Amino acid sequence: QLQLVESGGGLVQPGGSLRLSCAASGLTFSNYGMGWFRQAPGKEREFVGTISWSSAFRWYASSAKGRFTASRDNAKNTVYLQMNSLKPEDTAVYYCAAGPRLGTQLDNEYEYWGQGTQVTVSS
């Protein structure tokens, strides 16, 4: 079973940056596309971005496009989400997930999920 552990969340001022990491163990990481999702209080979980197993394909939610970048290092079994120009509305618990090799924005297609890391954007 693939285990995922996110880190890198925290409190940041509007306009600031954070880089989230998601470390995988247990199975062959490079067999999986990876996704990032978030859930704000009182809201449904939403798609943020996804990256294919080889990093050849990446796509993002409109709210993340141009500000967030997903990357991965298969040698380190880790996927990253670089978040720039953060806004208060980016405040949420962020989750990484492992699923189809080419990645997907559909959360029900992901097999494994991390426990989440809190990101708070506030002055």
pLDDT at residue 48 greater than cutoff 90: yes
pLDDT tens profile 64-96:
999 999 999 999 999 999 999 999 999 999 999
Cα dist from 56 to 23, 50, 87, 102, whole Å: 20, 11, 28, 9
Q: What are phi and psi of 42, to 5 degrees?
A: 75, 5
Quote the pLDDT of residue 17. Answer: 98
Quote the pLDDT of residue 2. Answer: 86
Quote the pLDDT of residue 41. Answer: 92
Task: Tell me what the mean pLDDT of segment 99-106 comes to.
Answer: 96
Share of the chain above pLDDT 90, in %: 97
Contacts of 115 (CB under 8 A, 6+ apart): 4, 5, 6, 95
Quote the pLDDT of residue 27. Answer: 82
